[in-house]
Amino acid sequence: MAISVKDRVAIITGASRGIGRAIAEVMAADGAKLVLGARGEKDLSALEQTLKERGADVISVSADVSCQSDMESMSRACQARFGRIDILCHNAGMFPTALVEDTTEAMWDHLLAVNLKSTFFAVRACLPAMKAAHYGRIVLTSSVAGLMSGFPTLSAYAATKAGQVGFMRSAAIEFGPSGITINAVLPGSILTDGLEGMGDEYVKAVGEGIPFGRVGKPEEVAHAVLFLASREAGYITGQTLVVDGGQRLPHTPAMRIFWPPKETS
């Protein structure tokens, strides 16, 4: 049997660009019905139009994930259009960089609201419909940052991403009796606007530190999300799935003396 989300109804936050857009494209191609969320209406409408032209049943809702009433409106819009919510992909997030000493309380509070409090808002807004149907698949886009690795200037970001996983592990136990799973993908370095903005030289250098020799593509994360969102993943909950091309596998820098092997002529 193929792993599929065909005919399932999915809300995707942060759907207008990057990983969220790839999740939307992969799920639409598989036959899911979609509610796309983000703040920027122009990008959202353009994606909605593109997916409709490909035959998808899709609506878009302009919503800020850090606003509880926006998440409730998004949930209501989904139920009004499709009658249920099978899948929530909570993917929206931001990753500003700052040293700890340069991080103000306002920056910290804003980042926690967008990346972490939003997780609670989005999940809570979808929960009643999923509980009523005794079915639900929730997939969070967390990160290797915070859970598996550290990175200077990303300490506040890493705290939000580790926080999402902490929330998920307890929620999984709460939601199990209601037939609802909640899992997280942990992407490594994925080529979206944020990483591209760091410049070609940086992207190339990051890629060279990854066993596959390149950074990841958004669709490579999207396929992992589709799996966790499928009916077939119904006995997996409270888990993390790392999608990083082996970037965070433990290795010693001294390995570089003999690996990769030098080409001999």
CA distance 183 to 140: 6
**Which position among 77, 94, 162, 206 is part of the footprint of ligand NAP (CB under 6 A)?**
94
75 in contact with ligand NAP (CB under 6 A)? no
Taking CB under 6 A as the criterion, the residue among 32, 61, 74, 93 binding ligand NAP is: 93
| Binding flags for ligand NAP, 138-177, as an x/- string (CB under 6 A) | ---x-x----------------------------------
Q: Does 17 bind ligand NAP (CB under 6 A)?
A: yes
Q: Is 157 an annotated catalytic residue?
A: yes
Task: Give min distance, CB of 261 to ligand NAP, in A.
Answer: 29
Answer yes or no whether residue 65 interacts with ligand NAP by CB under 6 A: yes
- Cα separations (Å) of 177 from 9, 120, 130? 21, 19, 12
Unique residue bearing structure tokens 């500003």: 96
Q: How many Cα atoms occupy the beta-carbon half-sphere of 66 within 13 Å? A: 12
Cα 103 from Cα 33, distance rounded (Å): 40
Q: Where are the alpha helices (DSSP H) in 5-152?
A: 18-29, 41-53, 68-82, 105-112, 118-133
Binding residue for ligand NAP, selected from 189, 230, 237, 247, defined by CB under 6 A: 189
Query: Which of 4, 45 has the CB closer to ligand NAP?
Result: 45
Interatomic CA distance for residues 241 and 189, integer angstroms:
14
Categorise residue 116: left if φ over 0, alpha if ψ from -120 to 50, beta otherwise.
Answer: alpha
Active site residues: 157
Positions in the binding site for ligand NAP (CB under 6 A):
13-20, 38-40, 43, 64-66, 91-95, 114, 141, 143, 187, 189-190, 192-195
